[in-house]
Structure 1
């Protein structure tokens, strides 16, 4: 296949004397592109050629000048993945010094091949990578790579985002997509400058689409901003029709994508007769639908384990429910399909749902039907059983410890694609507000005359607030738990004398983790003559946000709504009395409410009570100008959190 001029091998350009001509000298980079940059993308030229509904070819020409050591690890080497449905035709490379002289041309033996492997326990995949390392000890230097990937999986078209990280500038980039006119391209543009897109051109039976990005300076991530993936220029591509190993489908709508995925799993829900009979018996022993579903979920958790399976079409087609029943394991699709079959046998219709899982995974873009998912869960509507339409049970089928019906931060607060016989339907997973993301802490603090203290702390975390601690409880040994807790205490000098984590339940059926903590605090108070100055808010201080320098560029993306309650009982050292208590504080804004009080109790102790309830105003993000207002709210909270109690030593 003839390559476009911009993708010709880099090592073909030779002078008459046989020495390569200098290329990409570093001093040719404009000063504005060097500013605040670790690397400069000199060129990122991608050509996507759609051969048919079942095959496409992607060729990439990438040139990056590494300006300093901080950019070397990320940009001095290249990793290209492949699997049973994607093969790498070639991978070439070269590296140049600061003046553009060729230092080294990548040899085939220097392109390493490594499998992501199957560990025999929790991960089975045909995914492999080829990687080339052209890092140099002296900077600046420039690397140039050319590679081609042939894909037999047209469910996924590549996305194009030449500048995708902070402190990396862009000199220029192009994207070209060539497709048969009978296979129209679907695309979604993001933050493109005016003139970046050219009008499609038709020659014979082929249509060509082109985009070009001009030079762009390096960017820095701003506090509480959306991911740079959502802010930097990009073009997302998708087919109208596709084919994977003989299974044809349409991406014209969420309905058609869901129908294709549903049909892949059709006929794979048969259970062994004995298990079907056992589930049918639950309709007698557990007539309440929710309680019956809970028993099914408990059976799932006690008899199966999760194994990730990513082998060819197995990345999308579920294993039969019968194989999960006999083997006791499966990936997210297989376990969800198996649970769906169990519920069906128990008289409880349910649906598998696809979701983009993980706190770092952006929510689905509803306006652009495409495969944006990485996980499968289960949805069981109870409306057919007399409950309200809103009373729907969602189940995470890969966990042996998750609470029944709880999605958490992994799959909650986002969209999912429900797979039904009629096709896909985009729906919302459970939304968790402040009451489902709360922390309640009680601290007893015994202060000594030198300013040291001992503390016992009991913290109850509920819902989203307990997610990480539940992972610690079920997946970490005591030393790992202690290390994590120690790294997340907002204290400068302390020793953990005791730590215990335990699971708990709540009336709202939300999971909870209770942490019991013992602390030695050698410098809890500051001595000033006969006085001790102590901040009673021991563990609940909220830091201020950095002030905005210059006009803010990014929208404001607030964390989930939460509720934090702290009660501190301060036991005074012998011979000391209260000289001054901080004034009560009450703050109210569009972003939440804050109160704190400190009072003397009849038994001679002091009680500090603090509550912060944050909220997220309507909309996923707020305009950049909102940061200043939110930063001011946080600054006032931080000031109040550092309020001091003044203790005076009694006269001898």
Structure 2
């Protein structure tokens, strides 16, 4: 699947704001590093000295967001904070963008100049509002530590999105002081959800004139260390999510208290845009005529879509939410995610098949939405097609932007999460396809022929399905040299020559797609003799390293986010001059964290067969379970490195 990830720039701009006025340079000790508490420097690459974020809701149709942020950068690993990117688009404008940089004593070195700010395009080929651009400034210094300060203001005419406050968005960043303030006009309610606020932190609310003011503050947040197999830091640190109860985008008003509200508004915005030319309607009827299988009918229409359209991102302003008419896609042969989904929906309708558009948060690195807080958290549109004639309830999901995506496959891009059906009466959240250990398989069969000098040749046949398929799905389309480069970089072998490469896709119609990779290798010096013996680890390519132990008390939960099944069979063909002296003992592990087994046997013809199986779930455990999980992984790592001892019989 092509990489189609994007950010909802029009909305997520709202998460960054700016202060209403630029402060004049202060005294020499304004951000002196010597003033930092020792605890804030521990495990930190950077320290937020002061951060003030303000969301001013002026009306149902306009917001103003301001931010003033000062960050002391302690070392090179914290240098990402030396630059700032501010988004804008047709619905979002930047009022001002200012900054300054200070040395370790707090003395101002210089202010940000207009010529220091670059204007760049941020269109990523996927966004609901991809006319996005950005202004970026970099105040990096050659000597550490130093402090940067940025201030900016963004005015938005897309108040479907309010700010999300994350004062500590990454690991190894501490926070001296941060605040978030929301100013609401009379009669307009603020919806908000708090998460993981420090003990004693409470939302303060008061009235000032006709405004309701909400405010949150945190201070002295120690830096979090990166921990193996932990949830994303965004799920571990303080946050406040906000959303409107009412909004208006370019004259289109809506409510947002329930998922049905958002579904209804989006549906109505796009209603009546699915009319097709009469000839095309007739063509769809003819395309599926005589086909009695419902899934096969859907497949034919989807294949027509893939063969006759291409994806292009052309949304501007309200076009970030409102689709092009289906007739436009029919005439031009291209469209964005909304337009192609709407077009496919219309094609299926002409073929007598009911389908529904669905909003989803897409991206291989994206997590599921917060299902308990109705708000605009989506960045993509897919098509949901219920099978009305199936023996049991079932659904086909279609990614309409890709010309190569396997039929019905969502993969890591939109699978394992929730989507919002768009219905005239208001839709609901439903799960997209789940890909667990049974679907995410990697099965490898290796034949290794060893000679008396320890050199070897090998043939490898590897089948990858489900999310394991995602990582290699595009490799067959590369030039041979690029294929070999990609595969060679992924083979965990010290010395080898890749001689032959070929691929075979699984048969169309499989529940999950698969790709079989066939390799022929030369392995010089794979197992050089050591006196009378030869030592060889039969697990050539599937060694699972043990994660590092946590220093001190672990902070985060144990989060296994990628379920998988690995099955390896290795046939080791020995020369007549070598025979096994010692084989590793079988290993069998069965725990809450997964299962593992490995064993070896000598076959009648002298071949040694090694079989390994690993299955890991997608689940969470309490942080107190980490030592037991670490022990499980250590045992796997030891078993994976176990060696066969071969004895030279002609010595």
Structure-1-length-normalised TM-score = 0.94
Task: Give yes or no for contact 1:506–1:512 (8 Å, CA) kept in 2.
Answer: no
Secondary structure in 2 aligned to 1:11? Answer: coil
CA deviation profile, 1:254-273 (whole Å, cap 9, x unmatched): 00000111111101000111
Q: Per-residue deviation at 1:6?
A: 7.2
- Which is worse superposed, 543-552 or 409-418? 543-552
Q: Hey, what does 2:68 align to over in structure 1? A: 61
Q: Which of 1 and 2 has higher RCO (CA within 8 Å, sep 6+)?
A: 2
- Which is worse superposed, 621-630 or 141-150? 621-630
Task: Give yes or no for contact 1:85–1:151 (8 Å, CA) kept in 2.
Answer: yes
Structure 1 residues 567 and 456, CA, compared in 2 at 3 Å: closer, same or farther?
same
Structure-2-length-normalised TM-score = 0.94
Q: Hey, what does 1:48 align to over in structure 2? A: 55
Q: Per-residue deviation at 1:110?
A: 2.5
CA deviation profile, 1:532-551 (whole Å, cap 9, x unmatched): 11111111221112223221
**1:599 aligned onto 2:601:** yes
Task: Give yes or no for contact 1:173–1:213 (8 Å, CA) kept in 2.
Answer: yes
Q: Per-residue deviation at 1:118?
A: 8.9
CA deviation profile, 1:65-113 (whole Å, cap 9, x unmatched): 11122222x1112110100000000111111111111211222232222
Equivalent residue for 2:493, pick from 491, 494, 502: 491
Q: Distance in 2 between matches of 1:171 and 1:323?
A: 54
- Which is worse superposed, 345-354 or 533-542? 533-542
Task: Give yes or no for contact 1:283–1:347 (8 Å, CA) kept in 2.
Answer: no
Equivalent residue for 1:10, pick from 23, 27, 39: 23
Q: Hey, what does 2:392 align to over in structure 1? A: 388
Task: Give yes or no for contact 1:87–1:151 (8 Å, CA) kept in 2.
Answer: yes
Structure 1 residues 7 and 444, CA, compared in 2 at 3 Å: closer, same or farther?
same
Equivalent residue for 2:431, pick from 421, 428, 432: 428
- Which is worse superposed, 598-607 or 265-274? 598-607
Q: Hey, what does 1:17 align to over in structure 2? A: none
Q: Distance in 2 between matches of 1:162 and 1:644?
A: 50
Unpaired runs of at least 5, structure 1 = 14-19
**1:106 aligned onto 2:112:** yes
Q: Distance in 1 between matches of 2:589 and 2:509?
A: 30
Q: Distance in 1 between matches of 2:561 and 2:480?
A: 29
Q: Distance in 2 between matches of 1:403 and 1:304?
A: 16
Q: Hey, what does 2:270 align to over in structure 1? A: 265
Equivalent residue for 2:89, pick from 83, 86, 107: 83
Structure 1 residues 125 and 6, CA, compared in 2 at 3 Å: closer, same or farther?
closer
Task: Give yes or no for contact 1:123–1:307 (8 Å, CA) kept in 2.
Answer: no
* Number of corresponding residues: 635
Structure 1 residues 157 and 415, CA, compared in 2 at 3 Å: closer, same or farther?
same
CA deviation profile, 1:317-363 (whole Å, cap 9, x unmatched): 11111111111111111111111111111111000011111221110
RMSD over aligned CA atoms reads: 2.1
Q: Distance in 1 between matches of 2:378 and 2:170?
A: 22
Secondary structure in 2 aligned to 1:135? Answer: coil
Secondary structure in 1 aligned to 2:289? Answer: helix
**1:360 aligned onto 2:373:** no
**1:513 aligned onto 2:515:** yes
Q: Distance in 2 between matches of 1:199 and 1:374?
A: 32
1:331-410 aligned at under 5 Å gives the runs 331-383=336-388, 385-389=389-393, 391-410=394-413
Q: Distance in 2 between matches of 1:420 and 1:5?
A: 38
Q: Hey, what does 2:7 align to over in structure 1? A: none
Structure 1 residues 148 and 532, CA, compared in 2 at 3 Å: closer, same or farther?
same
Q: Per-residue deviation at 1:433?
A: 2.1
Q: Per-residue deviation at 1:281?
A: 2.5
Secondary structure in 2 aligned to 1:81? Answer: strand
Unpaired runs of at least 5, structure 2 = 1-16
Task: Give yes or no for contact 1:122–1:306 (8 Å, CA) kept in 2.
Answer: no
Secondary structure in 2 aligned to 1:634? Answer: helix
